[in-house]
Structure 1
Amino acid sequence: MSRRRFEVAPLSIYGTSTIGVYIFTNNTLTIVPMDVPDKVINSIRDTLGTTVIKSSLAKSPLIGIFMIGNDNGVLVPSIVTEDEVNELRKNGLNVSVIRTRYTAVANLVLTNSRKTVVSPIIEKEYIDLIRDTLGTEVIIDEICGTYLVGSIAVANDRGVLLSPEARDEDERKIRDYFGLPVNVGTVNRGRSFLRGGLVVNNNGGLVGSDTTGFEIVRIMQALGGA
């Protein structure tokens, strides 16, 4: 079977290009805030090749900040409501509540279907939960000199995109960790906090509407290959 062409679509939500704070996706399901219009949902569905559902987390639209995961499972912080967790489970997601003191868990975890890098600030007692939920090997480390490993890098099963702050040693170790090609790039006209403006799975990517053509080409090279 031929592999689907990796598509990248510019998008804005609530008039902003920081779309990554509002959207979570894996390869089958994308979760967006409750009031996202149908036109945007159709674009997301076509680009990522997923079912799109509407939800909230912690009674807020900040789904992309409060949720991280892959096709095996997702992690959410303890500030989410029981009803929200139940709704996600009804849609087929394996959901684990991680009771870390840090609520923006997506900023602290970088994962694809095989490997996960976890920020060293996450309490050690939750590492087994992360490993079991995501079904991957877990590595505890910083990237680019910061503990915000989920903010300054984006990964799928085809490649990894790193912030321009990455040094040669960062690129080398991420290549070793994931066993995938690693590239450096930005979103939204030079922003290095990649996840804020980029949502990807293996089928395609959504980028903030301020992202330039050059940046999109780099994203496609980094995450559409392998």
Structure 2
Amino acid sequence: MSRRRFEVAPLSIYGTSTIGVYIFTNNTLTIVPMDVPDKVVNSIRDTLGTSVLKASLAKSPLIGIFMVGNDNGVLVPSIVTEDEVNELKKNGLNVSIIRTRYTAIANLILTNNRKTIVSPIIEKEYVGLIRDTLGTEVIVDEVCGTYLVGSIAVANDKGVLLSPEAKDEDVRKVKDYFGLTVNVGTVNRGRSFLRGGLVVNNNGGLVGSDTTGFEIVRIMQVFGGV
């Protein structure tokens, strides 16, 4: 069976290129807001090679901010509703509610299927739950001089892209920990908060519609081994 080519598709949601705040994906399921048009859903399905679920979290479309995870499990904040959690579980997800004081937990956790970096501002008592749910090794650390480790970096099982604020020591640290290709890059014409404009799994990536060809080439190099 031939290896699937890593695809990257430009996208806008609600007329904005900050698509990462609205979308969560792993390698089998992508979750989008309830009112995303079918045309966009079809593009997401084709690019990421997953099924697509329309849902809400905390009665909000901000799925990419409130959910973080991988193929083993997902974490959501305590502001989600019971019905929302049940819907996720019904669609095959292993869901844990992390009752941290922070709600935008996707900005605070960087993960793939093997490794996870947790922001030092997340309360220590939740690190074990994060480890068990995601099924990964976990370290607690800052990246690029910020606790927003899930905001300034994006990872899949092939590579990690870091904000251009990353110093050589940041690149080296993340490379040593993940054991993968690590590089720096931007989205949406120079934006360094990468996750706001970039959603990736092992099959492909979605980028904000303002992302340039040069930025897309870097994304394909890091995440697709191109």
TM range (shorter): over 0.9
Aligned length: 226
The 5 A counterparts of 1:126-165 are 126-165=126-165
2:101 maps to amino acid: R
Shift of 1:225: 1.1
Shift of 1:220: 0.4
Aligned to 2:176: 176
Aligned to 1:28: 28
Shift of 1:192: 0.1
Aligned to 1:90: 90
2:102 maps to amino acid: Y
| Aligned Cα root-mean-square deviation (Å) | 0.7
> Structure 1: which 5+ residue stretches go unaligned?
none
1:129 maps to amino acid: L
Distance in 2 (alpha carbons) for counterparts of 1:134 and 1:176: 20
SS of aligned partner of 1:103: coil
SS of aligned partner of 2:205: strand
Distance in 1 (alpha carbons) for counterparts of 2:204 and 2:189: 20
Aligned to 1:38: 38
1:33 maps to amino acid: P
Distance in 2 (alpha carbons) for counterparts of 1:121 and 1:171: 21
Shift of 1:24: 0.1
1:103 maps to amino acid: T
Shift of 1:197: 0.1
SS of aligned partner of 1:218: helix
| Moved >3 Å (runs of 4+) | none
SS of aligned partner of 2:35: coil
Q: Establish whether residue 200 from structure 1 lines up as the match of residue 195 from structure 2.
A: no
Shift of 1:72: 0.1
1:60 maps to amino acid: S
Shift of 1:7: 0.3
2:143 maps to amino acid: I
Cα deviation, 1:32-65, whole Å, max 9, x if unaligned, reads 0000000000000000000001000000000000
Distance in 2 (alpha carbons) for counterparts of 1:215 and 1:179: 23
Aligned to 1:72: 72
Shift of 1:2: 2.9
1:112 maps to amino acid: N
Aligned to 2:101: 101
SS of aligned partner of 1:130: helix
SS of aligned partner of 2:150: coil
1:80 maps to amino acid: V
1:126 maps to amino acid: Y
> Structure 2: which 5+ residue stretches go unaligned?
none
Distance in 1 (alpha carbons) for counterparts of 2:110 and 2:100: 16
Distance in 1 (alpha carbons) for counterparts of 2:2 and 2:139: 32
Distance in 2 (alpha carbons) for counterparts of 1:29 and 1:105: 19
Identity value in percent: 89
Q: Establish whether residue 3 from structure 1 lines up as the match of residue 22 from structure 2.
A: no
Q: Give TM-score, length-normalised by structure 1.
A: 0.99
